[in-house]
Structure 1
């Protein structure tokens, strides 16, 4: 937190030399601030940027703060992020304490646009240690049912900001909801065929997916919703013992986390570790051209990795 607080004055100095025309410039492409006209949107995560780009269509310019494979739990915002936040018509955040950097950064940005929290209206999973994570599990996007709620919230915010384009936003939302429903049915059919549904992941990020599709969470290498949580010798002993006693077939690493600890634990427990290109997309989408560069592709990739390695 001290690092984030110390960064705010630096970010403000960076803003001092920026003209109004500069504040909406960004890299080309709709998720990085490329100009498309209509409402300007800043989304804090890669998943939210994907949703906003789809709903906004030709009537939104979307800037994603987090980029592919960047850990949202330990992010430090850039001057460009602050510029975009300050100029946005709509700011979409995940909430539930995923973006620990947000409050300090938003004070520096002083935006005039509306701020919405994508987690509103979603039934939140509670943590085992509610004192450490009082707001619950922030990884809400891993259930397509939750994604539909998030997409609807974005549509409503965009329609409020630019009512002249509300019809287009609503049509885009409806088309995407149909795709999410089809995806949900597809995944449910694949997972239902599994005899062994016991899952160990790198950190506790997939609970909404596992609950939604009836998979069993045995444990995680990092026993926390937060990738920055410290791992003790007791934690390691516990997860190895759980893997051995539960009949777990594989440990699933994540694309945005180093696989070294997972590989060491998998070796000690005598099970394979799913890493590299088959690693799960947890906290972020993948880079452009990867198997997880959109929400739909991410869910399909994760499902294939799970089914292939648990069958």
Structure 2
């Protein structure tokens, strides 16, 4: 009997050892799987945008689930003269979501986006329903933030489906922060009814249209936008209109100044016509809300003159 028990022990010991070894192997595999899942959960969505204003909106929606890199982040950079670097191309190549303005404004961005076939893309010109000849400064359209929220939620959710509700909540929070801007626009739309304004360059025209007013000297401003001098009759029309005393204010883009626009602004000030300064790119030290409100504050002050 003792011999039989001894034989049984000798048989069971290797079996138990194998079971323990297998258990250790499975435990290690399970721990590795959990570690990989944790690593995957902390992996952030890589987003690249051409313009900082869209980068802000993307960051607001993606929250801590992503990393946003905007290429044109300095107000001192002229978007029309920007030349992308090799490093820029690499950023686009690694991106999972690419946001371009489109409409020829940032052709380098749309080109890089097309080359990255795996990335999700948002072309803002498609979001706003751009038609040839429309003003391509879409970030000045009053509804642009609202229009961008759903495409951002949809594209980010396609990359990270588990975070869809998180993205949706973030979009609602961001829109809530912009209510002061909507309220200010509504207030000024009433005050601007029937007012005449002129602009040196049409970067702000989308916003003016949203406020219910139009640029009454489009020939002048379109020539400046195209890099040309306005013809003499358009310059005379600018001066004559100012002297009539019917212009509520002049909108000037200091980033597109030349000898002609400086003279035009000088004429406005001589005739006691307020000048509202706008920029094509977001100031370095301001967010989208602050930037837009600051311009509307200038308009409100101009209407008091």
Q: Deviations over 1:140-178 (max 9, x none)?
A: 221332321023212221121222222221111011122
Query: Structure 1 residues 274 and 163, CA, compared in 2 at 3 Å: closer, same or farther?
Result: farther
TM-aligned CA deviation for residue 285 of structure 1: 0.5
Q: 2 CA distance for matches of 1:263 and 1:93?
A: 32
Q: Report the counterpart of residue 64 of structure 1 in structure 2.
A: 70
Q: Report the counterpart of residue 300 of structure 2 in structure 1.
A: 307
Q: 2 CA distance for matches of 1:193 and 1:53?
A: 34
Q: Does 2:293 correspond to 1:287?
A: no
Q: 1 CA distance for matches of 2:73 and 2:274?
A: 23
* From 45, 65, 71, the counterpart of 1:39: 45
> Where does 1:208-247 land on structure 2 (aligned, <5 Å)?
208-219=206-217, 223-224=221-222, 227-234=225-232, 235-245=234-244, 247=246
Q: 1 CA distance for matches of 2:237 and 2:92?
A: 43
Q: Does 2:81 correspond to 1:74?
A: yes
Query: Structure 1 residues 249 and 212, CA, compared in 2 at 3 Å: closer, same or farther?
Result: closer
Q: Report the counterpart of residue 56 of structure 2 in structure 1.
A: 50
Structure 2: state its 5+ residue gaps. 1-41
Q: Deviations over 1:46-103 (max 9, x none)?
A: 2111111111111111111112322323321122211111110000111122213334
Q: Report the counterpart of residue 142 of structure 1 in structure 2.
A: 140
Is 1:218–1:243's contact at 8 Å kept on the other side of the alignment? no
Q: From the CA coordinates, give the structure whose radius of gyration is larger.
A: 2
Count of residue correspondences:
260
User: As a proportion of its length, which structure holds more helix?
Assistant: 2
Is 2:49–2:69's contact at 8 Å kept on the other side of the alignment? yes
Structure 1: state its 5+ residue gaps. 1-35, 127-133
SS in 2 for 1:297: helix
What's the TM-score, normalizing by structure 2?
0.73
* From 109, 117, 123, the counterpart of 1:117: 123
Q: Report the counterpart of residue 251 of structure 2 in structure 1.
A: 252
Q: Does 2:102 correspond to 1:95?
A: yes
Query: Structure 1 residues 103 and 116, CA, compared in 2 at 3 Å: closer, same or farther?
Result: closer
Q: Does 2:90 correspond to 1:83?
A: yes
